[in-house]
A and B are shown apart, each in its own frame.
Chain A
């Protein structure tokens, strides 16, 4: 309660304000996630299901050895992880939909990673599209959604990562949830 909330709230998950560094971090997290998953497949053999949470934790622990395991380091990691995870899941879902329609098999299909997600690829792509629209309307709300949706974080953790009050996160969520629901409904009825 006695915690100082910055006057101006940063826009977006450590993207706007950190620029380059965040981009590098996203790439780093993304690469680590992929490498880790591939290593798992090599050692455990295909068909073994891996919880994304575990992947994320491993990456975090590995990067966490970094001396910057501070507030900044952690909040940047969360921002980057949300984006990396979104990229991985959406890539996979896109490819899965494409395959259904007879796409190419040249690359290792990501579903071989068996990241356990019980949502249909169409749903994941749909949310991604709607989220991209929300990013243009209200970037911070979109960040809140991706942290919650792709990483499963709670409000307090998101608030911590964004450096805003929990109430602000709740407010963003209350809005984004309604806004996306409407967007998804329109997309569905349009399709």
Chain B
């Protein structure tokens, strides 16, 4: 009999000893059914009469008593024996007769720990703890000061081993372990609902008692850790020795000695670790790794220790760990769940114990779990944080590159799931399975190819100072010289490489990678091929629009929309239509854009998929705003932002909608609302993406411009200048800086610095003009129009005309600028109206109407 089975036998004997013969038989039949040999052994041993030959030879030597003399009484409790002894004090088994008969575990704090003040501080929390009433939480019975002046805490006595020990002793199956664990989560949630954190969850604080032959886990010592820790901190006492057993379960944020921090998610972390241990028999961060570290190193050590999938740990477990973990192989499905619960970053964990419990229950009932592999975005962000790359250029590339590789990984996972599904549904055609097999093989090939590509582009080859951009270009060159033979693999890899290249602005390479794929995918019938063709065309459309080729962009988006219909994917159709509508909106074809966006909102997926709907709403707000119907656009912008802020408050896209909503308010002259939303959005965006993020820096400019319009005065100017300086420092593309400088010019005008405003506007136009091909470039017209509008509204009507008329001239000669003509004419009319030049105003208003009724040709 191996050790694990013998320990199980021992535990069984201990439980069986006080039972009657009949109860014993029933218990054995029920609980040892899986191990007949062990059941027989238990029966055999229990049949032997125990004689007195083993009663102790002597009375114990009283002075030798290692635990010291047992106190007879602690407060109202009569002491029966010692349960445990530790640095914090002793724990006694005790009972009480009056006023109620009950048994208790009484913890007496060491004299130097248990002071009166300590208990006073504990008092508030004690009352909350005492009110807890849950089957899975040991109740706090009493706390007070014993006659010798030491403080004590009395808790419901739980007779049973720690949860991990219980699970291995009773050889619990995966399901049984998870069911126990769910109960633990429920108990913890009960406490959290009352505002009580445990702060020291670990197996030795979760004891499993047998109640009516049912195992009932009970969490003990709720809130006690805080009491003791706060005191230890106060007395400057080091906890290092005692902490060791606890460290393996402690969240990184709690291990921070400078700013220890704990919330419900810290308890969730500990639960995650306990679950990990229940399943694998090992801890995600072995305590050995933390031994001997200074407290300063501790937090980082816990946070950065590489986390391994439980299913992998289980497979490679030592024999000792095998005995503690589950017997049956651990399904990989649980990996995400366990890793999410014990994630080093609190943001990535389950937000509550009940969410964790719910996901475990979903798993138990065979429903898909909510935990997902960490998003590519998150992984990339972590990567960037770890390597502290220069914020913009390099990081964005690194991030997108990783996103590409990871996306291939996700595809791999999906293929795997597809194959599993196909296996289950064997009765459906055999070719389903072979198709899924092909998908899996392809995903494997893509991921291998990408990995090799990146290895080849290793810094060793490119030199130690290679940037990610170089690395990426090298990978692209490698790909182009030696593309994979399989059409689909080729397209997948090209698409994965194109994504980050697009972000670096290397549009030529993106086209080189992607254009050939469109043709080679043309006759592919697989659903994946059709989807790929769509996303590739979509990307090509964005390239065209970035290259300021609006006609080409429109054409590509239109083709992408066609492909999406062929792929029969509602989501792709929605995305491509959205892109097309956005191009119309940028190109000045507002009515068309508005019409499409309304149709999208009315579509089935637009009603159902909240995130997609939010994008369409926000874009609709923008389109109305651009058309000059700001009042009509505002409700859409607001609704879109609100949906998004509810569903994904920390997502960069949400923040973009926030900026947009601020602009909408401004367009409607609701300046207080605008400042309010922009401030709120700035707080959220800077917290999520950091104050150095390009969008956040641009947001500072926007916010201060709104304040200038509201009449906040010259104090708004310095932060704007600082933000713009930062934008140029980190290499933001010129058109975006130009946009910011335009706001600066506007703000200067509003605060009364007319000369400064004009100088800023001219300098901006000159700088931008030097980089564009035509004097009527769209970016330039955009600046002219907006500067003109701002100046006009701020009282510099005459100056505004200079810019607006220049823009209008362009709209007559440059086809791409033609759609802007009505808007420019309208702005000019308003300037004249403000100057009380009614004749000219009427003339321009008439022109505006005429231009609107005669939409730009070909659209």
Residues of chain A whose beta carbon lies under 8 Å from any beta carbon of chain B: 1-8, 51-54, 56-57, 60-61, 74-75, 78, 89, 117, 119, 123, 126-127, 138, 141, 145, 148-157, 159-161, 165-168, 170-172, 174-175, 177-182, 184-185
Say if the beta carbon of B647 comes within 8 Å of chain A: no
For the complex, give the distance between the alpha carbons of A149 and B56 in Å: 4
Say if the beta carbon of B394 comes within 8 Å of chain A: no
For the complex, give the distance between the alpha carbons of A6 and B248 in Å: 12
Nearest CB on A from B191, distance (A):
16
Closest to B288 in A: A7
30 chain-A/chain-B pairs, Cβ below 8 angstroms: A1-B84, A1-B155, A2-B91, A3-B84, A3-B85, A3-B87, A3-B88, A3-B204, A4-B244, A5-B162, A5-B245, A7-B287, A51-B58, A53-B62, A57-B61, A61-B63, A89-B57, A127-B54, A149-B56, A156-B81, A159-B84, A160-B67, A165-B162, A165-B204, A166-B82, A167-B161, A175-B6, A180-B54, A181-B49, A181-B54
- Contacting pair B51 A60 (CB below 8 A): no
For the complex, give the distance between the alpha carbons of A181 and B220 in Å: 36
Say if the beta carbon of B200 comes within 8 Å of chain A: yes
- Contacting pair B246 A4 (CB below 8 A): yes
- Contacting pair B107 A157 (CB below 8 A): no
Task: Decide: A56 near B84, CB < 8 A? Known: A145-B54, A175-B10.
Answer: no
- Contacting pair B56 A2 (CB below 8 A): no
Q: Which 9 A-B residue pairs are closest in the complex by CB-CB distance? A: A4-B245, A3-B86, A156-B82, A152-B56, A53-B61, A178-B45, A175-B10, A152-B58, A171-B10
Spot the interface stretch: B221-229, B253-261, B732-740, B773-781.
B221-229
Closest to B242 in A: A4
- Contacting pair B50 A177 (CB below 8 A): yes
For the complex, give the distance between the alpha carbons of A169 and B278 in Å: 22
- A3 CB contact (under 8 Å) in B44, B58, B61, B91: B91
For the complex, give the distance between the alpha carbons of A38 and B84 in Å: 38
Closest to A54 in B: B61
Say if the beta carbon of B94 comes within 8 Å of chain A: no
Closest to B227 in A: A2
Closest to B82 in A: A156
For the complex, give the distance between the alpha carbons of A78 and B46 in Å: 30
Provide the residues of chain B in CB contact with A154, threshold 8 Å: 60, 81-82
- A179 CB contact (under 8 Å) in B45, B221, B224: B45
Task: Decide: A74 near B53, CB < 8 A? Known: A152-B60, A178-B48.
Answer: no
Of the listed residues A75, A126, A171, the one surrounded by the most CB atoms of chain B closer than 10 A to its CB is A171
Which B314-345 residues have a C-beta within 8 angstroms of A?
320
Nearest CB on B from A120, distance (A):
10
- Contacting pair A156 B67 (CB below 8 A): yes
- Contacting pair B13 A56 (CB below 8 A): no
Say if the beta carbon of B9 comes within 8 Å of chain A: yes
- Contacting pair A181 B50 (CB below 8 A): yes
Of the listed residues B60, B86, B205, the one surrounded by the most CB atoms of chain A closer than 10 A to its CB is B60
Provide the residues of chain B in CB contact with A152, threshold 8 Å: 56-61
The secondary-structure label for the interface of chain A is helix
- Contacting pair B200 A2 (CB below 8 A): yes
For the complex, give the distance between the alpha carbons of A51 and B225 in Å: 45
- Contacting pair A155 B246 (CB below 8 A): no
For the complex, give the distance between the alpha carbons of A175 and B7 in Å: 9
Provide the residues of chain A in CB contact with B246, threshold 8 Å: 4
- Contacting pair A74 B66 (CB below 8 A): yes
User: What bracket does the count of chain B residues touching chain A fall in?
Assistant: 35 or more
- Contacting pair B61 A151 (CB below 8 A): yes
- B53 CB contact (under 8 Å) in A53, A165, A184: A184
Nearest CB on B from A111, distance (A):
15
For the complex, give the distance between the alpha carbons of A164 and B107 in Å: 18
Provide the residues of chain B in CB contact with A185, threshold 8 Å: 48-49
Task: Decide: A1 near B221, CB < 8 A? Known: A53-B59, A56-B61.
Answer: yes
- Contacting pair B7 A171 (CB below 8 A): yes
Provide the residues of chain B in CB contact with A184, threshold 8 Å: 51, 53
Provide the residues of chain A in CB contact with B245, threshold 8 Å: 4-7
Provide the residues of chain A in CB contact with B60, threshold 8 Å: 53, 151-154, 157
Task: Decide: A53 near B58, CB < 8 A? Known: A1-B83, A4-B86, A157-B65.
Answer: yes
Nearest CB on B from A191, distance (A):
14
- Contacting pair A4 B81 (CB below 8 A): no
Say if the beta carbon of B11 comes within 8 Å of chain A: yes
Nearest CB on A from B24, distance (A):
13
Provide the residues of chain A in CB contact with B320, threshold 8 Å: 8
Which B100-114 residues have a C-beta within 8 angstroms of A?
105, 107
Closest to B60 in A: A152
Say if the beta carbon of B483 comes within 8 Å of chain A: no
Task: Decide: A1 near B205, CB < 8 A? Known: A57-B63, A157-B60, A165-B84.
Answer: yes
For the complex, give the distance between the alpha carbons of A89 and B57 in Å: 10
Nearest CB on A from B422, distance (A):
43
Say if the beta carbon of B17 comes within 8 Å of chain A: yes
Provide the residues of chain A in CB contact with B213, threshold 8 Å: none
Which B36-76 residues have a C-beta within 8 angstroms of A?
44-46, 48-51, 53-54, 56-67
Provide the residues of chain B in CB contact with A168, threshold 8 Å: 161
Say if the beta carbon of B14 comes within 8 Å of chain A: yes
Closest to A141 in B: B10
Closest to B50 in A: A181
Say if the beta carbon of B160 comes within 8 Å of chain A: yes
Provide the residues of chain B in CB contact with A148, threshold 8 Å: 54, 56
Task: Decide: A178 near B58, CB < 8 A? Known: A3-B204, A156-B67.
Answer: no
Given contacts A152-B56, A171-B13, 6 further A-B contacts (CB under 8 A): A4-B86, A52-B58, A150-B58, A161-B66, A174-B10, A181-B49
Task: Decide: A119 near B48, CB < 8 A? Known: A57-B64, A75-B66, A159-B84.
Answer: no
Task: Decide: A174 near B17, CB < 8 A? Known: A1-B220, A78-B66, A160-B66.
Answer: yes
- Contacting pair A60 B64 (CB below 8 A): yes
Task: Decide: A149 near B54, CB < 8 A? Known: A53-B59, A161-B66.
Answer: yes
Nearest CB on B from A65, distance (A):
14
- Contacting pair B204 A175 (CB below 8 A): no
Provide the residues of chain A in CB contact with B162, threshold 8 Å: 5, 165
Provide the residues of chain B in CB contact with A138, threshold 8 Å: 6
Nearest CB on A from B336, distance (A):
27
Nearest CB on B from A84, distance (A):
13
For the complex, give the distance between the alpha carbons of A160 and B81 in Å: 13
- Contacting pair A178 B50 (CB below 8 A): yes
Provide the residues of chain A in CB contact with B50, threshold 8 Å: 177-178, 181
Nearest CB on A from B690, distance (A):
39
Task: Decide: A2 near B67, CB < 8 A? Known: A166-B83, A179-B45.
Answer: no
Closest to B202 in A: A4
Closest to B158 in A: A1
For the complex, give the distance between the alpha carbons of A170 and B220 in Å: 21
Nearest CB on B from A14, distance (A):
13
For the complex, give the distance between the alpha carbons of A174 and B6 in Å: 12
Interface string of B1-32 (1 = CB under 8 A from A): 00000110111011001000000000000000
